Amino acid sequence: MDTPRSTIYLIGFMGSGKSTVGRSLADALGYRFIDTDTFIETRFRQRILDMFATAGEAVFRRRERIVLEELLGIERTVIATGGGLPCAGDAMDLLLESGLTVYFRCSPEILATRLELCKRTRPTIRDKSGEELLAFVRSTLGEREPIYSRAELIRPIDQITTRQEEEAFAQELAQELRALGY
Ligand code: S3P
């Protein structure tokens, strides 16, 4: 039987592993997996990169909100949320009310190193590198941290670097969540 709150929201900065860990977590729990970025791209038939370039960030954020409202409380689903999604308006309140929130916490230094390798598809950072990227991560994470840290569960992920470590982390989290009734 379904538990009443079987939506698991993974939140955190870009590059914190929400999508890769989320997929494994969903598999381990027998849940569906949804990545809000991919969902938005499919729903609005446009890549996020192009959305930012042609329509602007405000339009992307409105679309993110539409999708959030569509997905709220969806049963037996792990949702990897875009890094900025919980930080707009009352979004974090909605996540807290409708499911279990898990924050993958990571230091700005490690995030910046990771993002250097995968920034091309991310419009807010694709043109930044080195010190500039680190400064952006530091200040944006500084603004977002008070919101992210309202999550029910907080997991430090600085030490998780390889795919195997991500997999082991997902399995541990799945075990923990099963013990909580998910
Ligand atoms: C963003 C994070 C991205 C994506 C968009 C903006 C942000 O999602 O939604 O590029 O503002 O932090 P990921 O966290 O999945 O990379």
Across the chain, mean pLDDT equals 96
CA–centroid distance, 32 to ligand 1, in Å, is 21
CA distance 120 to 141: 19
3-state secondary structure of 4: coil
Parallel, antiparallel or unpaired: strands 7-11 and 32-35: unpaired
Average pLDDT over residues 85-96: 98
Q: What is the pTM of this model?
A: 0.96
pLDDT digits (tens, 9 = 90+) for 20-69: 999 999 999 999 999 999 999 999 999 999 999 999 999 999 999 999 99
Per cent of the chain over pLDDT 70 is: 98
Mutate to test the pocket of ligand 1, among 124, 139, 140 (most ligand atoms within 8 A of CB): 124
Q: Using CA atoms, how far apart are residues 155 and 173, in angstroms rounded to an integer?
A: 9
Residue 2: pLDDT band (50, 70, 90) is: very low
85 in Cβ contact with 68 (< 8 Å) = yes
Pocket of ligand 1 (CB under 6 A): 14, 37, 48, 82-84, 122-124
Cβ atoms of 5 and 100 closer than 8 Å:
yes
What is the rounded distance in angstroms from the CA atom of residue 6 to the CA atom of residue 22? 14
